[in-house]
Amino acid sequence: MTSPRALFGLVAVWMTTTTPLVGQVSGTVVEARRAFEELDYGRAVELAEDALEDQLSPEERVEAYEVLGYSLGIMDEADRAVTTLTQLIVLDPDREPDTQALPPRLVSLYNQAFGQVLVVRRILVDSTSFVSGEGRVTMHWEVSRPSTARLRLVGNGIDTVIDSMLVNPGPIRYDWDAQVAGAPVPAGDYQLIVTAAEGRSEYQRSAEFGVAHSAVDTVAHISSIDGFEKQPETEIPPRDWRPLGMATLMTGAAAGAALALNNSAFDGARIELGVGAAMAIGSGLALSLRRPDARPVPLAIQLNQLIDRSIADRNQQIAEANAERRRRVLLTVVQELR
């Protein structure tokens, strides 16, 4: 168990590392903090209570409630500490205890106070970019109690409720299509106002963000389909050696017949036969060596026609999609940090 001296030391370290208030600070608030840092918690309580009776700025009032609440917690006045911390939370719900520096007992008292009062905190609009109608803006916030949350968009001549919903305590996420009355939200600066309501209690916080418009990139037409290549629609058949073969065969037959006759009366005929044979063989050789004419390839023709139809259909779809995209805008949402 943590000893009182060690506990006081932890709190003193936390208080000395807390971000100081900016600008002119009430002297009583300064004295209350100093008393807290010096572990004089009774005096810190007295000074903080005195300060809260004065005219204080919101920042000074937060500081005074913080010193008072944690001092009461250390002094084992848990009920008063929780009541005081609820006032701190209402004024500045984002001012949370440092769980690494504060003792668990004080963190627990803060959490008890947080659950007793209705507040909204950690409101955030994510920065993003998307084509209208094809994306959403993510919004975040946290509520302390079960309640009805109402999201309201204000700015650039618009004041409309985006949505309303029942929520449980804890972090909430909401995705908005960035549409107002069926059209993309106009470019400009906006406030997202989150209002939580529980019975007669209401609490609201806001976050600022900007919306910019730009043209949507179109898609280029295609000239081919991945995985499919057009094939040659004609082919050159192999050379046909049949004319040469037939000429040679016929010449051989004629020569054999002439030799069989073996008669001098046919000497002139044999000469003519030899010349004719040579001419026949030459003609057959010429026909066989001639480059064959190209012939169509039916399967390749059908495949190419199918590819052409597919490309035409896809380009028609792209053209229609581009026409639609030109009617849309690219929305860029940027959170504006305060």
Lowest-confidence pick of 154-163, 187-196, 230-239, 292-301: 230-239
Residue 241: phi and psi, rounded to 5, are -90, 10
pLDDT at 254 over 80: no
pLDDT at 338 over 60: no
Lowest-confidence pick of 18-32, 75-89, 168-182: 18-32
Q: What is the dihedral of CA 226, 228, 232, 235, to 10 degrees?
A: 150
Q: Which of 91, 94, 32 is nearest to 67 (CA)?
A: 32
Structure confidence by residue, pLDDT tens digits, 143-178: 999 999 999 999 999 999 999 999 999 999 999 999
Structure confidence by residue, pLDDT tens digits, 181-194: 888 999 999 999 99
The CA distance from 239 to 94, in Å, is: 90
- The domains found in the chain, sorted by start residue, are 4-116 (1.25.40.10), 120-215 (2.60.40.4070), 234-316 (no CATH)
pLDDT at 276 over 70: no
Which of left, alpha, beta for 88 (phi over 0: left; psi -120 to 50: alpha)?
A: alpha
Q: Which of 229, 221, 204, 218 is nearest to 307 (CA)?
A: 229
pLDDT at 19 over 50: no
Query: Which residues is 167 bridged to in the sheet?
Result: 147
Q: What is the mean pLDDT of the chain?
A: 82
User: Which pLDDT score is estimated for 4?
Assistant: 45
State the first-to-last Cα distance of the chain, in angstroms, to the nearest integer: 42
Name the DSSP letter for residue 17: H
The CA distance from 167 to 141, in Å, is: 11
User: Which pLDDT score is estimated for 20?
Assistant: 46
Confidence band (pLDDT; 50, 70, 90) for 6?
very low
User: Which pLDDT score is estimated for 1?
Assistant: 41
> β-strand 183-184 against 234-235: which pairing, if any?
unpaired
Coil vs helix vs strand at 150 = strand
Structure confidence by residue, pLDDT tens digits, 32-81: 999 998 999 999 999 999 999 988 999 999 999 999 999 999 999 999 99
Structure confidence by residue, pLDDT tens digits, 92-111: 999 988 888 888 999 999 99
User: Which pLDDT score is estimated for 255?
Assistant: 58
